[in-house]
């Protein structure tokens, strides 16, 4: 028999709310995370950026321009050039109403950029957190700051609650650093580049040295990839899967979870 290890994150296919329930509500806002939990998500995602004064905030883009509105001096340009106090002047809900009038809600206007600390406090004990170190090469110290916040919230380290947090990154260097600093923290290697067929096993062999999961772009997922990851004890969490036929296709391949903007749709598919 071939060596076949089971994935170690969870037994069931995991519903990972990509930036929250970001189809129906503005990404990375309390409205989106609340809705994700109401829709049956197992995990809520947070993409991390670091401010000029070293605070970890939750925003996908390194720039404020797409989703933030407010005084130009505070709410345009790069997050890393602003202080936390400046970002407190920005609003991140109204862009969604303008972009998606069919899904707009008056209550979205006024949503604020959250710090990671605020998110972990708000959802303590009632959510699992799937946190991405975003462009960590532009934010020296991001890993150390992240670990400090997670330790403060009892999510990693001695006596920590088990299985409440996963950290993901496209950067192997960022994940290797986290693994060296805190080997008990469970990590997922994201992957967007094409993988040459003769490089797949070597790539997964290197990932298994520090991670418990592999998060490929959905176009990269094949039966061979899923089987090769599972043979190495790695769970497979493709991103970002919003169409039901693709959800069903990936389910049939045996993936262990999916990032989706539509947690309700994925939950409904899994119930069928
Ligand atoms: O983290 C999985 C997926 O979110 C990666 O893509 O650009 O949406 O962060 P992105
Ligand atoms: Ca992400």
22: Cβ–Cβ under 8 A, 6 or more apart, which residues?
A: 28, 32, 261
Which residue, 203, 217, 210, is CA-closest to 177? 210
Which residue, 226, 260, 256, is CA-closest to 243? 260
Q: What gap in Å lies between CA 272 and CA 254, rounded to an integer?
A: 16
Look at residue 5 in the predicted model and tell me its pLDDT. 45
- Judged by its nearest atom, the ligand closest to the C-alpha of residue 170 is 1
Is 201 inside any structural domain?
yes
Ligand 1 and 190: CB distance under 6 A: yes
Ligand 1: which of 14, 17, 60, 136 to mutate, judged by most atoms within 8 Å of the beta carbon?
Answer: 60
- pLDDT of the chain, 272 residues: tens digit per residue: 344 444 568 889 999 999 999 999 999 999 999 999 999 999 999 999 999 999 999 999 999 999 999 999 999 999 999 999 999 999 999 999 999 999 999 999 999 999 999 999 999 999 999 999 999 999 999 999 999 999 999 999 888 988 999 999 999 999 999 999 999 999 999 999 999 999 999 999 999 999 999 999 999 999 999 999 999 999 999 999 999 999 999 999 999 999 999 999 999 999 99
Ligand 1 and 260: CB distance under 6 A: no
Is 106 inside any structural domain?
no
Is 68 inside any structural domain?
no
Number of domains in the chain: 1
φ, ψ dihedrals at 197, nearest 5°: -50, -35
Ligand 1 and 256: CB distance under 6 A: no
Ligand 1 and 87: CB distance under 6 A: no
Is 107 inside any structural domain?
no
Contact 43, 128 (CB under 8 A): yes
Look at residue 149 in the predicted model and tell me its pLDDT. 98
180: Cβ–Cβ under 8 A, 6 or more apart, which residues?
A: none
Domain that holds residue 37: 14-62+114-271
The CA 3 to ligand 2 mean position distance, Å, reads: 31
Look at residue 8 in the predicted model and tell me its pLDDT. 67
- 37 dihedral zone (left: phi>0; alpha: psi -120 to 50; beta): alpha
* Interface predicted TM-score of the whole assembly (ipTM), two decimals: 0.98
Is 86 inside any structural domain?
no
Q: Which residues surround ligand 2, an ion (CB under 5 A)?
A: 47, 132
Whose C-alpha lies nearest to ligand 1, atom 6? 239
Q: What gap in Å lies between CA 207 and CA 235, rounded to an integer?
A: 11
Is 223 inside any structural domain?
yes
18 is catalytic: yes
Look at residue 2 in the predicted model and tell me its pLDDT. 40
Look at residue 4 in the predicted model and tell me its pLDDT. 45
CA distances from 215 to 64, 152, 240 (A): 26, 27, 10
Whole-structure pTM value: 0.96
Mind giving me the DSSP string for 22-67?
TTTS-TTSHHHHHHHHHTT-SEEEEEEEE-TTS-EEE-SSSBSTTT
37 CB neighbour count, 10 Å cutoff: 19
CATH no. for residue 48?
Answer: 3.20.20.190
């Amino acid at each position: 028999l071939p060596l076949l290890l089971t994935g170690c994150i969870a037994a069931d296919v995991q519903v990972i709310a990509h930036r929250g329930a970001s189809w129906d509500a503005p990404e990375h806002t309390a409205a989106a995370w609340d809705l994700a939990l109401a829709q049956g998500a197992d995990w809520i995602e947070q993409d991390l950026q670091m401010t000029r004064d070293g605070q970890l905030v939750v925003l996908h883009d390194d720039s404020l321009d797409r989703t933030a509105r407010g005084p130009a001096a505070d709410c345009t340009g790069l997050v890393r050039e602003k202080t936390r106090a400046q970002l407190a002047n920005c609003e991140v809900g109204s862009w969604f109403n303008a972009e998606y009038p069919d899904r707009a809600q008056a209550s979205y206007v006024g949503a604020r950029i959250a710090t990671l600390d605020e998110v972990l406090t708000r959802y303590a004990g009632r959510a699992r957190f799937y946190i991405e170190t975003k462009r960590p090469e532009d934010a020296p110290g991001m890993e150390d700051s992240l670990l400090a916040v997670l330790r403060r919230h009892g999510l990693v380290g001695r006596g920590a609650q088990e299985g409440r947090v996963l950290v993901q990154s496209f950067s192997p260097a960022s994940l290797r650093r986290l693994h060296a600093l805190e080997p008990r923290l469970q990590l997922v290697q994201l992957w967007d580049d094409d993988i040459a067929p003769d490089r797949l096993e070597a790539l997964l062999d290197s990932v298994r040295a520090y991670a418990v999961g592999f998060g490929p772009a959905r176009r990269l997922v094949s039966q061979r990839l899923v089987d090769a990851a599972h043979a190495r004890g790695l769970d497979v969490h493709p991103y970002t899967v919003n169409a039901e036929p693709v959800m069903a296709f990936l389910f049939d391949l045996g993936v262990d979870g999916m990032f989706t903007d539509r947690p309700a749709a994925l939950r409904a598919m899994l119930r069928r």
